[in-house]
Structure 1
Amino acid sequence: MKSRTTITEIARELNVSPSTVSRALNNHPAISAKTRDAVIELARKLNYQPNLLALNLLNKRTNTIGVIVPEITSHFFSSIISGIQDLLNPLGVNMIIGQSNESYEEEMSIVRTFTSIQVDGFLISPSSETKNFDHLKILKESNIPLVIFDRDCEEIEVDKVFVDEYQGAYQAVEYLINSGCRRIAHIAGPSILSTAKHRLEAYKNALKTYGIPVRDEYIVETNGFAPEHGIDLTKKLLALPKRPDAIFAINDGVAIGAMYVIKEAGIVIPDEISVIGFDDDPHSCYFKPSLSTVWQPTYELGMLSARILMKRIQTDNDISKIRVEKLFPELIIRGSSR
């Protein structure tokens, strides 16, 4: 296999110095038009490609940012990544994506790898296992720009971008109450996650506001976000002496699993049990009945996170005020709720 053409090889063929070739390729005014044209013509003939990594390192930038997410297959994170990419592309900035698979160890390993290749900054949504944030504190102490999005790390003061989880969850539970539901269950997310904590807090506060007792048996916690993670927990809820007349699920995937169990049990949705999810997955509207849910501005979340990070990078991380931004969700009512 032929190795890539170098500036030195072009210089040797034209009997000029490598610095002359470099200047000609960069249209330096000190180089004559004749020499510049000869260099460019030979470079094209030999299919010369500049070593962008070397050039960027010379400029103390790689024009690459590292993005770390728990997973990339869901609509939620893929939409965020689209927002990031659409902000970066016009700026000529690349991104590399690491998937932690909700693993703390994997997240730490990706941070180390991305740091070793000198990315200009990080966009990170922490894994559900991440309790120790020392690896993120090191980034801050090293003056490496970092924006945390979607899931909070309260111990670290850096730029952050979230959706107002509390407001979205409160709207969902309030709607269920106003539609006549009184035995409202919540399939909560892992308690370590800030997103799950906010939704659970909103669920409890909405019940209290309307004078409905918070019953522990109506709150169950899942350890995942796929439909299968809602199946056994829904069976447990349906087996209660007074089964729920509504279920508010941590996300659409779990809500879909809950709907499957409810329908298999011969219970009519929403006449006997209403169901509301969270995230507004594109498939949610195609189920029968279609799933009521809380829409999150994921694309905007990704774009804003990237914009804040690029501002940090372009100013050499010299911004005194930490930015914490919250975007607002919207309740989408469909056929699964009264």
Structure 2
Amino acid sequence: MKKGRVTITDIARELNIAPSTVSRALNNHPAIKKETKEAVKELAQQLDYQPNFLALSLLRKKSNTIGVVVPEITSHFFSAIITGIQDVIANSEYNIMICLTNESFEEEVVVIKKLLKMQVDGVLVSPASGTKEFDHFRALQKNGIPVVVFDRDCPGLEADKVLVDDYAGAFQAVEYLIKSGCKKIAHLGGPPNLSTTKHRLQGFLDALKSGNMSICEEHIAYVQGFSHEDGLEPAMTLLSSSNPPDAIFAMNDNIAISAMHVARKLGYNIPEDISIVGFDDEPHSSFFRPSLSTVWQPVYSLGMLSARIVLQRLKEDDVQRPFREEVFKPELVIRGSSR
């Protein structure tokens, strides 16, 4: 027997039968004798034979693989979503392939083209912050590959979508800050192109209007990314100005924690001098002192539902079924960083 990967041909040669007979025996074909099936399976086990799923996918025109495209996996947010996806997919016939775009539209296009060439059966995608057009997603759909968009919306793209009501979460957070006595509320927003950024900004603005609060343009700043480092300079600009805010509603928890760091550096007491509220409810947020008030969103459920929807699409013959748009409601979590 040759060294290396054992093939059906190797088993057939050892047993002096045709490779097609080995293949049918391994798949319990009724035309193959019981004795032959047992001999084939016993030898396959002895030789540690592993099916070539790539060859099978080419033969069946089905890869049994679902692509999961995300901007990054270092944060709890996306890792929790992927866990939710995996926990659902694990109970199916499919595997998942995780692909990173590093928040780059160009990398996202390359990733989608690769998944298309690999004949994946479905794609779950959270678009990169630089994504403004969606022809690469439509290319998947034109090839019969269902696409489920999660977390970040793709306005104008007809597809199944699983989102969070970012507007409601932002409105709730800012409304709370107003009721707690804050008079000058600032917003540290995300990359302007993102749907989540736009919806949270609109929730912020509408909450101010609802509370008869004036909108100060200099109290609205944007970050270029979502890490702690990305929030430092914008927070410093806000808090060191001649008209500093007495509250900050941040795009996510990392940016909120950056604002807390800058506030302490400038001598602010939290929450006596300034209240700070984040978004996401990352696990580490409750361990800071003071602990971070934030907006919780059900990220694990977001992943689970996205996976269930793509599996349902793959089971259905009627591809004309209307697309689903499911929206989860977030919840405000009040801790020590706000009044």
TM interval, short-chain normalised: over 0.9
Secondary structure of 2:271's aligned partner: coil
Cross-structure match for 2:59: 58
Cross-structure match for 2:188: 187
1:198 aligns with 2:199: yes
User: Per-residue deviation at 1:307?
Assistant: 0.7
C-alpha distance in 2 between matches for 1:17 and 1:143: 36
Secondary structure of 1:67's aligned partner: strand
- Mapped contact 1:230–1:258 kept (Cα < 8 A): yes
Secondary structure of 1:156's aligned partner: coil
1:154 aligns with 2:155: yes
Distance 1:64 1:191, change over 3 A: same
User: Per-residue deviation at 1:317?
Assistant: 6.3
C-alpha distance in 1 between matches for 2:318 and 2:123: 12
Cross-structure match for 2:93: 92
- Structure 1, unaligned runs of 5 or more: none
Distance 1:316 1:98, change over 3 A: farther
User: Per-residue deviation at 1:116?
Assistant: 0.8
2:222 aligned partner, one-letter code: E
TM-score where L is the length of structure 1: 0.97
Cα deviation per residue 1:221-260 (whole Å; 9 max; x = unaligned)?
1111111122111111122323111000000000000000
Secondary structure of 1:90's aligned partner: coil
User: Per-residue deviation at 1:275?
Assistant: 0.2
User: Per-residue deviation at 1:218?
Assistant: 0.7
1:226 aligns with 2:216: no
Cross-structure match for 1:47: 48
What is the total number of aligned residue pairs between the two structures?
Answer: 338
Once structures 1 and 2 are overlaid, which stretch shifts more, 11-20 or 270-279? 11-20
1:144 aligned partner, one-letter code: I
C-alpha distance in 1 between matches for 2:212 and 2:110: 48
Once structures 1 and 2 are overlaid, which stretch shifts more, 32-41 or 279-288? 32-41
- Structure 2, unaligned runs of 5 or more: none
Secondary structure of 2:221's aligned partner: strand
1:235 aligns with 2:221: no
Cα deviation per residue 1:124-177 (whole Å; 9 max; x = unaligned)?
111111112221121222221101111111121111110110111111001100
User: Per-residue deviation at 1:26?
Assistant: 1.6
C-alpha distance in 1 between matches for 2:318 and 2:120: 14
Once structures 1 and 2 are overlaid, which stretch shifts more, 137-146 or 72-81? 137-146
User: Per-residue deviation at 1:103?
Assistant: 0.4
C-alpha distance in 2 between matches for 1:243 and 1:312: 51
User: Per-residue deviation at 1:40?
Assistant: 1.5
Cross-structure match for 2:116: 115
Cross-structure match for 1:140: 141
C-alpha distance in 2 between matches for 1:11 and 1:213: 80
C-alpha distance in 2 between matches for 1:250 and 1:295: 12
Distance 1:317 1:231, change over 3 A: farther
Cross-structure match for 1:27: 28
Cross-structure match for 1:270: 271
C-alpha distance in 2 between matches for 1:35 and 1:235: 75
- Mapped contact 1:225–1:251 kept (Cα < 8 A): yes
Percent identity for Structure 1 against Structure 2: 57
C-alpha distance in 1 between matches for 2:63 and 2:140: 17
C-alpha distance in 2 between matches for 1:45 and 1:189: 57
Secondary structure of 1:91's aligned partner: coil
User: Per-residue deviation at 1:306?
Assistant: 0.9
2:43 aligned partner, one-letter code: L
Distance 1:28 1:142, change over 3 A: closer
2:106 aligned partner, one-letter code: E
2:54 aligned partner, one-letter code: L
- Mapped contact 1:295–1:331 kept (Cα < 8 A): yes
Distance 1:316 1:97, change over 3 A: farther
C-alpha distance in 1 between matches for 2:232 and 2:42: 66
Cα deviation per residue 1:300-319 (whole Å; 9 max; x = unaligned)?
00110111111111225614
Cα deviation per residue 1:65-106 (whole Å; 9 max; x = unaligned)?
111111110011000000000010011311111110010110
Cross-structure match for 2:304: 303
- Mapped contact 1:275–1:292 kept (Cα < 8 A): yes
Once structures 1 and 2 are overlaid, which stretch shifts more, 134-143 or 163-172? 134-143
TM-score where L is the length of structure 2: 0.97
- Mapped contact 1:124–1:148 kept (Cα < 8 A): yes
User: Per-residue deviation at 1:28?
Assistant: 2.0
C-alpha distance in 2 between matches for 1:225 and 1:153: 19
User: Per-residue deviation at 1:10?
Assistant: 1.4
Once structures 1 and 2 are overlaid, which stretch shifts more, 236-245 or 76-85? 236-245
Cross-structure match for 2:252: 251
Q: RMSD of the TM alignment (CA)?
A: 1.3
Cross-structure match for 2:336: 335
1:211 aligns with 2:216: no
C-alpha distance in 2 between matches for 1:146 and 1:242: 46
2:216 aligned partner, one-letter code: R
2:132 aligned partner, one-letter code: K
C-alpha distance in 1 between matches for 2:10 and 2:172: 67
